[in-house]
Amino acid sequence: QFCRVSVGDTMDIEKKTVATDTFVFWDMVDFPLPKDEIDSFCRNVKSSLRKEGYIGQVSFRAFGHRVHSSPMTVESVRTGMLLERLSSRFARLNYILVTMIAYATL
């Protein structure tokens, strides 16, 4: 169903509350943040989702580059956020897509 809105028209859109789990996939290489801003980033994402009516659990997954890490493949960026390191951008982006598909079937 489509709605045509002319310039000058206003619409009242009722926000609905949605109780669903939300998964945030963060590519730390293409979208880097200073380490001291990660907590602020997570709070802002959660706050924005709440303002939009999403009230379920918010989980973060971070994806980085293996060369710039410890020998471990999976480590923790912060409490509750796993970091998975992959060897190339191609591998990282493909793994993010596969992980999204896997989460969508939960």
The Cα–Cα gap between 29 and 27 comes to 6
SS3 72: coil
pLDDT for the residue numbered 74: 47
pLDDT for the residue numbered 82: 82
The residues, ordered by sequence, that sit 6+ positions from 41 with a Cβ below 8 Å of its Cβ are: 33
Overall average pLDDT of the 83-87 stretch: 87
Residue 92 has pLDDT above 90, yes or no: yes
Residue among 45, 48, 6, 12 nearest 26 (CA): 45
53: left (phi over 0), alpha (psi -120 to 50) or beta: left
Confidence bin at 46 (pLDDT 50/70/90): very high
Q: What does the pLDDT look like over 58-76, one tens digit per residue? A: 999 889 887 765 545 445 5
Overall average pLDDT of the 15-23 stretch: 83
Its pTM stands at 0.71
Q: Which residue has the higher pLDDT, 24 or 14?
A: 24
